[in-house]
């Protein structure tokens, strides 16, 4: 596995539709910490963006695919 447990947690929540701000709230870290972590994930997975990182991580078994009921409503504002 290439991702740390924390990175997998970030990406797993991102796969479920959470914003960086909400990921930070859920995991008790700052939004800027999540942003930095996501940037490292993109590099590790050679992914150009969030969506590609999620797809690659699922394909490589780094994170599980979210169930339909797990996908959240995206927050606005």
Dihedral sign for Cα 38, 40, 44, 46, please: positive
Domain-embedded: residue 16:
yes
Domain-embedded: residue 21:
yes
Contact 5, 56 (CB under 8 A): no
Domain-embedded: residue 71:
no
CATH number at residue 28: 1.10.10.10
> What average pLDDT does this structure show over 25-31?
96
Domain-embedded: residue 32:
yes
Domain-embedded: residue 43:
yes
User: What is the residue-averaged pLDDT of the chain?
Assistant: 89
Domain-embedded: residue 74:
no
pTM: 0.83
Q: How many structural domains comprise the chain? A: 1
Domain-embedded: residue 14:
yes
- Does the pLDDT at position 66 exceed 90? no
Domain that holds residue 42: 5-63
């Amino acid at each position: 596995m290439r991702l740390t447990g924390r990175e997998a947690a970030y990406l797993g929540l991102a796969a479920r539709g959470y914003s960086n701000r909400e990921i930070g709230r859920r995991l008790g870290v700052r939004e800027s910490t999540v942003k930095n972590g996501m940037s490292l994930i993109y590099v590790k997975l050679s992914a150009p963006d969030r969506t590609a990182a999620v797809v690659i991580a699922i394909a490589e078994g780094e994170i599980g695919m979210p169930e339909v009921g797990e996908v959240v409503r995206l927050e606005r504002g």
